[in-house]
Amino acid sequence: MGNAFCKPRTPRHITHYTLNIPQATCVGILGSLVLLVGCSREPKIPVIKVGFVAPLTGDQAPHGEDMLGGARLAVEQVQAGGELVPGYRVALVALDDQRNPTQAVSAAKKLVADPDVVAVVGHLNSSCTMPASAVYHQAGLLQITPVSSNPKISRQGFETFYRTCATDDLQGPAGALVAVRELGAARIFLIDDMTTYGRGLANEFEKKARELGANLLGHEGITQGDKDFTPLLTKIKALQPDLVYFAGMFPEGALLIKQRKDVGLGGHFMGGDGLFDPVLIELATAEAAEGIYLTTIGSDVHAMPTAQGFIRAYEARYGPLGAYSAYAYEATNIVLWAIQQAGKKDRQAVLAAMKTLKDYPGLFGRQNFDEKGDSLIRDVGLFTVKDGKFAFLKTASWD
């Protein structure tokens, strides 16, 4: 924009008038305008930034937007309460990794290069969090992922890494126990999306299912973005499985569920938390999705007394609660707590403060972390689809 005082623009519908004002009065008015303009410039307040990274475009954007809503709400509530650190305002910097590991590393490097960023909440996908975590670690930048669940991430030994969800070495066995012992699945076929998350979750499920005596008929990989799974599902139908288990995300999961019905493949269908989005039911159709099972990386947040205030605030601000909104809210609030404890804009101080956390009063209970940065709240939820909606069944056992 140009300077409005130097080159004013007058809308065409306004009529020009000539006013007879004494010269001295004109000078006084101009002087007052200059004074007002000068006084309107507020001093720039130093900022402390919290980075946020998730897929905000593409087919997994619904998950990313739900996470961003939770993170934004946490920052907005802190901003409304005054200064978190005296003399500083807090800002959230959201970046899109497009669920692509290369883009995730690029986003991580961008955040690391900004000296105002003292911590990061992200990423969604384990395949993005894994390489990005090395960038944050090298820079000494605190990272809390709300939902990346592959256990190998925390086994890298990075002191900068934390997560607020259960891991797939818990979620996979929990699903297998339900499949074999509760659903009576003796013959199982496995599908995964060949990502860090999908392959890791499928392997954990398979290991436990074999231990329980199930017959694994096969294990196939698909690629994210593929649309036609009819040949694979037709092949699986001939094997007559009691259950098909899919470890992947909801866009492909929805197509598998819909096309499964189209080819007449019977038996149960089960998946992991990557399916836990209402968009899955919309894409698959409620009829085709009816009766599927899925596990999640935490219990039902709606049943948590400590989460009711958050749910009301979120839904008033952003609408229906997303699958990962609560986890992002939790991770962001813990980051903000560490910043407040540090009391200054300093990455090392924020990381040191994080290491002192004990019994943080979170949405899912008292939050603590082990030496690897994994949450000690290790609940796995079990859901089904009933009448076009996800219905919570129970907190599932994983041992």
Secondary structure of 171-240 in HEC code, one letter for each residue = HHHHHHHHHHHHCCCCEEEEEECCCHHHHHHHHHHHHHHHHCCCEEEEEEECCCCCCCCHHHHHHHHHHC
The CA-atom distances, in angstroms, between 260 and each of 64, 197, 229, 288, 387 are 27, 23, 9, 8, 19
- Sign for the CA dihedral angle at 68, 314, 360, 335 comes to positive
Q: State the pLDDT at residue 82.
A: 87
222, 252 Cβ separation under 8 angstroms: yes
Domain boundaries, the chain: 47-166+301-368, 169-296+381-396
What DSSP element (H or E) covers 89? Answer: strand 89-96
Beta bridge mates, 381: 296, 395
Task: Give residues with Cβ within 8 angstroms of 199, minimum separation 6.
Answer: 192, 193, 221, 247
Give CA torsion, residues 134, 137, 142, 144, to 10 deg: 30
Mode of pairing for the β-strands spanning 243-247 and 380-386 = unpaired
Q: State the pLDDT at residue 20.
A: 35
Fold for 47-166+301-368, please state it.
Answer: Rossmann fold (3.40.50)
Fold for 169-296+381-396, please state it.
Answer: Rossmann fold (3.40.50)
Identical fold for domains 47-166+301-368 and 169-296+381-396, yes or no, is yes
Query: pLDDT in tens for each of the 399 residues of the chain?
Result: 433 323 333 332 323 333 333 343 333 433 333 333 344 455 688 999 999 999 999 999 999 999 999 999 999 999 998 899 999 999 999 999 999 999 999 999 999 999 999 999 999 999 999 999 999 999 999 999 999 999 999 999 999 999 999 999 999 999 999 999 999 999 999 999 999 999 999 999 999 999 999 999 999 999 999 999 999 999 999 999 999 999 999 999 999 999 999 999 999 999 999 999 999 999 999 999 999 999 999 999 999 999 999 999 999 999 999 999 999 999 999 999 999 999 999 999 999 999 999 999 999 999 999 999 999 999 999 999 999 999 999 999 887
| Residue 98 CA to its chain's centroid (Å) | 13
- C-beta neighbour count of 209 within 10 angstroms: 25
Dist. CA 188–CA 217, nearest whole Å: 6
